[in-house]
Structure 1
Amino acid sequence: MNHGGARVVLLGVRHHGPGSARAVSAALSAFEPDRILIEGPADADPLIPLAGAEGMEPPVALLAYREQDPKVSAFWPFAGFSPEWIALRYAIERGIGVGFCDLPAAASLSQDTKAQARDRDRDRTGDGPDPIARLAEAAGYADAETWWEDVVEHRGGRSGPREGARQADGGDSLAAFDAIAEAMAAVREHEPTPERDALREAHMRSVLRAALAEGARRVAVVCGAYHVPALSGICDGREAQPPAQAADKALLAALPKQTKATATKLTWVPWTHSRLSYHSGYGAGIGSPGWYRHLFETDDHVTERWLASVARLLRDERHPVSSAHLIEATRLARALAALRGRPLPGLAELTEATVAVLCEGREEPLALIGRELVVGEDLGTVPGGVPTVPLAADLAREAKRLRVPRTATRKQYDLDLRNATDLERSKLFHRLGLLGVDWAVAVGSRSAGTFRESWDVTWEPLFEVRLVEAAVWGTTVQSAATAKALETAEQTETLGSLTVLVQRCLTADLPGAVDPLIAQVQNRAALDTDIADLATALPPLAGILRYGDVRGTRADGLRTVVHGIAVRIAIGLPPACVNVDDDAAHALAPSLAKVHAAIQTLDEPAIRDPWMRALRQVADLGGAGAHGLLAGRAARLLSDAGVLGAEAVAALMARALSRGGEPAGAAGWLEGLLAGSGLVLAHDKALLRLIDDWLAGLDADRFEHVVPLLRRTFATFTAPERRTIGERVAHLGAPDGASALAERSAPPTGVAADWFAAALPTVRLLLTGSPSHPGSPSHPGSPSHPGGAVSAEVAPTRKLEPAP
């Protein structure tokens, strides 16, 4: 396009397309522009020189956010194979004037939120105008992505050693962009332009006019192919002037004016390939960043090199892959491409060949291949001079000091808290968790009473935004976490949540937050009358008292708080268990077990004795006002603690299961006693007989009502526990001692009986060390032996003979 003697070329691209990137590189070399304009936020121009700084490695992104509300933010990502990045580096390396031409980030963030959401949904789902889909449909393709790959990304034919994104040089490259512009114009001719795109294109035209007015003679514009017709003025198949400058000014004048509340900052941040993919939610994402990088970086034998990478990955995971596999997979991929009329094998053909040949029909390895190769986990880097908030700079210093690099690949840290460096790492991870930056996620058991922690550490670009958001709390990770914890405490409604926050602050070593939080806990506990709330609050505080010295943390004044809460729970527990419904009982029962475990852990008579008395009162109230579930749970806790013996538990059960009581209440009592473990029934025949007799005495209606409740309880038992209980029930009618003996010593019958009898003396010799003689009390044939009636008298030296 000529403009008053100046020449403008419009390079319409597919964002993050490797073929487009190669074409842009060739076109710029052929055109030799003196000014380059790139689709991107115009107010990011001061950050462009950093794109060529040492230490800047894509993928990276421009981050824009509001100073007073960092949650309002946006990203503009760039990969190494993005056409826009290629143009940026081309201009920087040659000292050519370059700038962004899209709407400023401040204007984009100030646009109507609903309009932005509508446009984003259109970009992601394709519900709005999709020119690529129209062109693909006209060409007979089922999906737009495949058509674009065949026509643009794989352009260059099948000849020569290179497969993939080979582009012609010189005028051929410019001609290709002219063809793209013409095709887009034809598609947009009958499509309305969305409001947001109209504003963006008006701004692009304004920036282009300004560049020409400043004296640029050869201008190259790198933008999405969709926008080319609006910049070139091609409409209705003929050359036309773009909209008048006055019209564009009027359109842009409607944009909201920037105020202090909407002031925007921009910076560069690291990005990842996974965040370029569609599943990350990025509107202009691509499905296979790793594959596109392969297309861009590989100069020859694209198919062979890709399959070789797949084979290397599979071999590392101990999947056998041979050279013959690679040869056959290559042939299959090419054959599939030929059958489908594609110029070269694409990712679909390579994937099918991988499954059929390298994976021998198994699709399970595809998840690994997709994560490691098709998408990839590359994380870019930015140089130290990039503008950032003080909090992010402090985190970078701490991460470097503690040797915790920011990588997109998951790494597990097994920390030994007795080691000074590991202890500092643990504090950093806990502080970041309080700030909502989940760079490190705890895995496995992380009991406060051990010296070890395990963390999965993976950096996500989204954490850059969260650091900006958290910067309002302080300039360092420690000060920000302290301020955030105190603010969270003010908004915490329950005592239990507040005590959990105290525990987190102690593990994060935030002394500035711990003392004020303990004071709040004490004040709230003094006024709280809800036993369930107090019961939720006690276990974390008890854990702090018991294990706080592992980290060397101090919790002065906490012991007084714990004692006060424990005593109040003991006093209020019996009334709290009376006249409550099923929902309230099921909500309170787990708390009883947790409080009991916490008090047992502390092992202090001053709080243990009142608690045991309270449990005994609840257990004694079973059938006399207390909910059966809670009374049964209290009996079980007392039994586990050794306070109640088997006879006392049997007496309580007999009273709870009496025929005069309500069957539902009795079933609840059993659930409280037995839930989680059936060992008490597996080893106590008296209790088992009580339950059996109770069930046998129920009438039909009551039995049908109770059985589902019992099934719910027995479902919590392990399979061996259920099997053992079933065996015990089968012999409940036998005389005492006979059932167990029958289970242990009854010989088999039938063809194996003689074999059993012949082997028995030898087995007894091995187990006891001495043979038993006929007539001795221990001999199975002795009249005094309980099993004498069912045992055969055999000599120790009897010869084994085959059974008849």
Structure 2
Amino acid sequence: MAIQILGIRHHGVGSARNVLRQLEQFKPDMLLVEGAPEMTEVLSLVGKEGLTPPVAIMVYNQENPKQSSFYPFAEYSPEWTAVRYANQNKIPVRAMDLPAAVSFVKRDAEEAAKEIPGEDEAALQEAPIPVYHRDPLSHLSEAAGFRNSDDWWDHHFESTLTNTDHFEAVHHAMDSLRAEGVVSGLDRENIDREAYMRTIIRQAQNEMYERIAVVCGAWHGPALVELDATAKSDAKILKALPKSKIKVACTWIPWTNSRLSIASGYGAGIYSPGWYEHQWNITDQTEIRWLAKVAATFREKQMDISTAHVIETYRLARSLAVLRNKPFIALDELNEATLSVMCMGDGILLNLVREQLIVGNSMGHVPDDIPKVPLQEDFEQHIKSLRLKLTAVPKTYDLDLRKEGDLERSVFFHRLEIIELPWLSRTASRTKGTFKESWTAEWKPELMIVLIDKAFLGNTIEAAAETLVRKQGTETDKITELARLIQLSIPAQLYQNLDHLLFRINELTSISADIVDLMNAIPRLVDISRYGDVRRSDLSVLNTVVQQLLTKVFVGLPNACYGLDEANSQNMFGLITRVNTGVRLYDNVDTEQQWYDTLHRLLDKHGVNHIILGCVCRLLLDAQQLSEEETERRISFALSSANDPFEVAAWLEGFLGSNGMILLYDNRLWNLMYSWVESLPDDTFTQILALLRRSFSKFEYGERRQIGVRARKGRAVETHQSLTEREGFDAERAAQILPVLKELLGGVE
């Protein structure tokens, strides 16, 4: 009975080639690879047509998919190469490591211990193994004069040794380190893991397999040799492990090169997935062909790169390798030569090579017939039918909702937004009255966790979105939240939820006394009732709901504004402005008049913050509900030097809002404000300067600049004159444009 331990680096090109050669020579009748035993069944799919690396096995808790682990594979991963060889030759394959169900329980226990002050520290003091350790291989790399352990490993094990020497040398190096007492930062966990690995190897022996090949991380290799001597101690270790009833499931998911890189935080990550992929696929003139790729990348960016650049870059890289006593040209030499010749010393250009080639944008593919949860299957079917792509590179979709295909995409995107799958983000808000939407999609492998985690909501994206909206609508007692859910449901075409949401709004409207909540909801609902027909939906039923909400606001607003402090007054100022916009958009004459009557009552109410009074005065002026004479009287009274300067500043902020044009064109208001500022004592002016700056900061840059120019000139000489009183003004001709303007401002009919 023969057992061969093949110690590898998890994503090493040389390791993968040596593993394949060794398996072809050894011809095992059983293959064991490092990994949770639960993934043994899905390993049988390696080599299946359509399962294209980089991919990963996702091992997750069925009741809590967020509790998961990933086992990534690239085409050049030794484990992938070994399992594919075994499947092609009908050799049984098993995964050997600590079960994921046990790992999940241990992880929960560790997180719970961290929440108890002092307990974790005491346990660490008793533990014989230190908490933090340097990379074990760094001892060897430093002794050999290498920058880091990855360069050392590449030089000695990935590029220069034949398969005969390779695994003997790896085993000797790891055994020497472990014999000297060098430990890794995971040694406490490795004790359990290696005990389980040895147990699984013994099980294979007991099943009378004669030639067992074991593919595992190089560090574990020496610990898997003495099987008989460790049998009793392993049994004790495994008996002490926590029991677990967690139901674990496994599935294949697409992975990306960026997630294989060490920069992603992946523990077994590598620095250059794209370079390794190139080395695996190109065995002849590897360096020259790599430089040809670099040149092609620069040419795509309209850079002038000739064949001479490629030749000189290669010559420089070869010279650097010779100077460093290297038998081959490594990526470091290629990068330095590229920086000097092609990039002309510009490090920013070399970053382009790193992003697109050294790391790369490769993304794997999983065939449709691999078992998945129903929600995942529905998602992938939509991706296929709507001709979308899951790419690691951001991709923008500009949708025209008048086209049937783009409308279907938009509905799908909005449903994904409801279930909070962060694959998509809106790059431009949909403008009222238009049929345009813009979305940016960027796929990340961990998003599959989110999708599987939502599987309990329904078997399809539509059903999951409907369930989530109904659940949130039932639980909330805020009309604003219900309005938001309606606004989400319309573009997602979840019409079955509308009756439920409208019923909830009616239910809450009858008992709600929260005017702020009602005012927050009105703009959303008015917008939906006004523009919902863009989605070919009849939302006229909302008019009744909107009218009920407006009536309650009209009745309760004056009292709701009484006695508010500065912060709440600022909030109310914004709400009144938005409700005013909603009322005008609602386009109902009677409703508008009721609103203006409410503002008139508020304008004369005592105990209301001056920022609200200024806002109300401006809204009534703009709506021509206050005469110019009455407005001038109120402005003069508000800006009187006898008033408290802070109250005057607040009134000005409310009146001016975010539009400073009235100061530029109304000489009467300009002179009043100029006189008020001029009358302020220096210390008072200094105190209220912050309030004035806050008010003027809301103006456009051009407005602020013109106001500054006008301030240098002092008071305006020209007397106040209304537009209709100006010489040469043709009122009859001006009236002809009013119907057209009303149609434009009213939106799409």
Task: State the TM bucket, normalised to the shorter chain.
Answer: 0.7 to 0.9
SS of residue in 1 equivalent to 2:194: helix
1:352 to 1:539, Cα distance in 2 relative to 1, 3 A: farther
Is the Cα–Cα contact under 8 Å of residues 12 and 180 in structure 1 kept in the other structure? no
2:231 alignment partner AA: Q
Is the Cα–Cα contact under 8 Å of residues 392 and 443 in structure 2 kept in the other structure? yes
**Among 509, 519, 528, the residue aligned to 1:535:** 519
Aligned to 1:636: 618
How big is the shift at 1:547? Answer: 0.8
Aligned to 1:217: 210
Counterpart-to-counterpart distance in 2, 1:54 and 1:515: 47
Aligned to 1:172: 165
Is the Cα–Cα contact under 8 Å of residues 7 and 167 in structure 2 kept in the other structure? no
Counterpart-to-counterpart distance in 2, 1:298 and 1:382: 24
SS of residue in 1 equivalent to 2:454: helix
How big is the shift at 1:666? Answer: 1.1
Aligned to 2:354: 370
Question: Are 2:410 and 1:410 equivalent residues in the alignment?
Answer: no
Question: Are 2:290 and 1:303 equivalent residues in the alignment?
Answer: no
Aligned to 1:573: 557
1:610 to 1:201, Cα distance in 2 relative to 1, 3 A: same
**Among 428, 449, 454, the residue aligned to 2:412:** 428
Per-residue CA distance 1:608-653 (angstroms, 9 max, x = gap): 22222233444445xx532122222223333444444655443332
2:615 alignment partner AA: R
1:428-507 equivalences in 2 (<5 Å): 428-447=412-431, 449-507=433-491
Counterpart-to-counterpart distance in 1, 2:144 and 2:414: 56
How big is the shift at 1:36? Answer: 1.6
1:175-574 equivalences in 2 (<5 Å): 175-186=168-179, 188=181, 194-233=187-226, 243-259=229-245, 262-337=246-321, 343-447=327-431, 449-555=433-539, 557-574=541-558
- Aligned residue pairs total 705
Per-residue CA distance 1:3-24 (angstroms, 9 max, x = gap): xxx2222111112122222222
Aligned to 2:13: 18
Aligned to 1:662: 644
Counterpart-to-counterpart distance in 2, 1:457 and 1:10: 44
Is the Cα–Cα contact under 8 Å of residues 171 and 218 in structure 2 kept in the other structure? no
Aligned to 2:730: none
Aligned to 1:765: none
SS of residue in 2 equivalent to 1:446: coil
Is the Cα–Cα contact under 8 Å of residues 674 and 715 in structure 2 kept in the other structure? no
SS of residue in 2 equivalent to 1:71: strand
Counterpart-to-counterpart distance in 2, 1:183 and 1:390: 50
Counterpart-to-counterpart distance in 2, 1:679 and 1:405: 48
SS of residue in 1 equivalent to 2:366: coil
1:588-627 equivalences in 2 (<5 Å): 588-621=572-605, 624-627=606-609
Counterpart-to-counterpart distance in 2, 1:499 and 1:734: 48
Aligned to 1:672: 654
How big is the shift at 1:578? Answer: 2.8
Counterpart-to-counterpart distance in 1, 2:287 and 2:620: 70
Aligned to 1:723: 705
Aligned to 2:151: 146
Aligned to 2:669: 687
SS of residue in 1 equivalent to 2:45: helix
Percent identical among aligned pairs is: 38
1:696-715 equivalences in 2 (<5 Å): 696-715=678-697
Aligned to 2:635: 653
Q: CA RMSD in A?
A: 2.7
How big is the shift at 1:548? Answer: 0.8
SS of residue in 1 equivalent to 2:44: helix
SS of residue in 1 equivalent to 2:520: helix
Is the Cα–Cα contact under 8 Å of residues 134 and 187 in structure 1 kept in the other structure? no
Question: Are 2:72 and 1:81 equivalent residues in the alignment?
Answer: no
2:238 alignment partner AA: L
SS of residue in 1 equivalent to 2:46: helix
How big is the shift at 1:306? Answer: 2.5
1:337 to 1:648, Cα distance in 2 relative to 1, 3 A: farther
SS of residue in 2 equivalent to 1:72: strand
Is the Cα–Cα contact under 8 Å of residues 60 and 271 in structure 1 kept in the other structure? yes
Per-residue CA distance 1:94-151 (angstroms, 9 max, x = gap): 22222111122222223242548999xx9xxx94452122322332334323322333
2:283 alignment partner AA: D
- Unaligned stretches of 5+ residues in structure 2: 115-123, 125-130, 721-749
How big is the shift at 1:367? Answer: 4.6
How big is the shift at 1:537? Answer: 0.9
SS of residue in 2 equivalent to 1:382: coil
Counterpart-to-counterpart distance in 2, 1:619 and 1:296: 77
Is the Cα–Cα contact under 8 Å of residues 78 and 85 in structure 1 kept in the other structure? yes
Aligned to 2:734: none
SS of residue in 2 equivalent to 1:285: coil
How big is the shift at 1:332? Answer: 4.1
SS of residue in 2 equivalent to 1:292: helix
1:459 to 1:639, Cα distance in 2 relative to 1, 3 A: same
Is the Cα–Cα contact under 8 Å of residues 256 and 363 in structure 2 kept in the other structure? yes
**Among 39, 43, 47, the residue aligned to 1:48:** 43
State which drifts further: 49-58 or 99-108: 99-108
SS of residue in 1 equivalent to 2:389: coil
1:139 alignment partner AA: A
Is the Cα–Cα contact under 8 Å of residues 56 and 383 in structure 1 kept in the other structure? yes
How big is the shift at 1:568? Answer: 1.8
Is the Cα–Cα contact under 8 Å of residues 26 and 173 in structure 1 kept in the other structure? no
**Among 105, 127, 131, the residue aligned to 2:136:** 131
1:420 to 1:193, Cα distance in 2 relative to 1, 3 A: closer
Aligned to 2:735: none
Counterpart-to-counterpart distance in 2, 1:644 and 1:316: 63
1:187 to 1:378, Cα distance in 2 relative to 1, 3 A: farther
1:116 to 1:302, Cα distance in 2 relative to 1, 3 A: farther
1:105 to 1:735, Cα distance in 2 relative to 1, 3 A: closer
How big is the shift at 1:702? Answer: 1.1
Per-residue CA distance 1:68-100 (angstroms, 9 max, x = gap): 222222111111111111111111122222211
Counterpart-to-counterpart distance in 1, 2:425 and 2:383: 16
2:219 alignment partner AA: Y
1:317 to 1:336, Cα distance in 2 relative to 1, 3 A: same
- Unaligned stretches of 5+ residues in structure 1: 1-5, 157-166, 234-240, 739-804
Q: State TM-score, norm by structure 1.
A: 0.82
1:687 to 1:595, Cα distance in 2 relative to 1, 3 A: same
Aligned to 1:63: 58
How big is the shift at 1:386? Answer: 1.4
State which drifts further: 504-513 or 101-110: 101-110
1:665 to 1:474, Cα distance in 2 relative to 1, 3 A: same
1:185 to 1:438, Cα distance in 2 relative to 1, 3 A: same
How big is the shift at 1:207? Answer: 1.1
How big is the shift at 1:190? Answer: 6.0
Is the Cα–Cα contact under 8 Å of residues 67 and 104 in structure 2 kept in the other structure? yes
Is the Cα–Cα contact under 8 Å of residues 429 and 439 in structure 1 kept in the other structure? no
